[in-house]
């Protein structure tokens, strides 16, 4: 049975981590580039009929209304611009908190880590945060063991990713765990990536550290 991922998008989410994560699952989960959802399946959950705007201006419609998070093997929160994604809608909040209560593994891409942390869902966990946001994160969430020295972190039922192309690497980690490293490497090659990087790979830090 296919492993199912639910994607919870915040307002002004970053499009590239979402697409790279999904495409890694898509390419790994079938033969060639046929896009059949054999090994992995995914839905963008949200309020039906309400488009969700990405930080680049592209709008996506949810593919499924929010229901029971236990229908999924992982709930992925995709963050974006910090000044506009401070709060989830009441429906998305309830979905996320119920997922945590029921023990559904949670994943955060980009500033999705801020969302999880605001609900106390990263307290006592290790979390990978982008070098660009690490100071703000540590100031706001001192109870989280946050670091900016790796692309992603997996700590028990919590996975966090700095964002950008690192989303493909975290997706590759899940692929390797579920169906094997060869499938992850296949997806990387089709995406024209040299390899799937591990949690030991460091983030490339910009010249101007904030």
Left (φ > 0), alpha (ψ -120 to 50) or beta: where does 52 sit? Answer: beta
d(CA 118, CA 205): 25
Residue 203, domain member (yes or no): no
- CATH number for position 51: 3.40.50.880
Residue 106, domain member (yes or no): yes
Number of domains in the chain: 1
pTM, two decimals, is 0.94
pLDDT per residue rounded down to tens, the chain (210 residues): 899 999 999 999 999 999 999 999 999 999 877 889 999 999 999 998 899 999 999 999 999 999 999 999 999 999 999 876 567 899 999 999 999 999 999 999 999 999 999 999 999 999 999 999 999 999 999 999 999 999 999 999 999 999 999 999 999 999 999 999 999 999 999 999 999 999 888 888 755 555
The boundaries of the domain holding residue 41 are 3-190
Residue 41, domain member (yes or no): yes
Residue 195, domain member (yes or no): no
Instruction: Answer for the pair 76, 110: CB distance below 8 angstroms, yes or no.
Output: no
Residue 79, domain member (yes or no): yes
């Amino acid at each position: 049975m296919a492993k199912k991922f639910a994607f919870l998008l915040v307002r002004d989410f970053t499009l590239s981590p979402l697409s790279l994560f999904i495409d890694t699952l898509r390419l790994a989960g079938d033969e060639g580039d046929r896009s059949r959802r054999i090994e992995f399946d995914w839905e963008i959950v949200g309020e039906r009929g309400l488009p969700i705007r990405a930080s680049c201006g592209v709008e996506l419609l949810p593919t499924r209304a929010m229901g029971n998070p236990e229908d999924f093997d992982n709930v992925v929160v995709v963050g974006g611009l910090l000044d506009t994604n401070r709060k989830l809608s009441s429906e998305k909040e309830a979905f996320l908190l119920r997922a945590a209560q029921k023990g559904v593994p949670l994943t955060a891409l980009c500033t999705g880590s801020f969302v999880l942390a605001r609900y106390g869902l990263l307290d006592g966990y290790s979390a990978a945060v982008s070098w660009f946001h690490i100071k703000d994160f540590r100031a706001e969430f001192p109870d989280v063991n946050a670091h900016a020295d790796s692309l992603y972190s997996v700590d028990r039922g919590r996975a966090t990713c700095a964002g950008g192309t690192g989303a493909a690497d975290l997706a590759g980690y899940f692929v390797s765990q579920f169906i094997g490293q060869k499938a992850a490497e296949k997806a990387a090659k089709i995406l024209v990536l040299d390899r799937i990087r591990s949690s030991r790979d460091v983030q490339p830090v910009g010249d101007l550290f904030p």
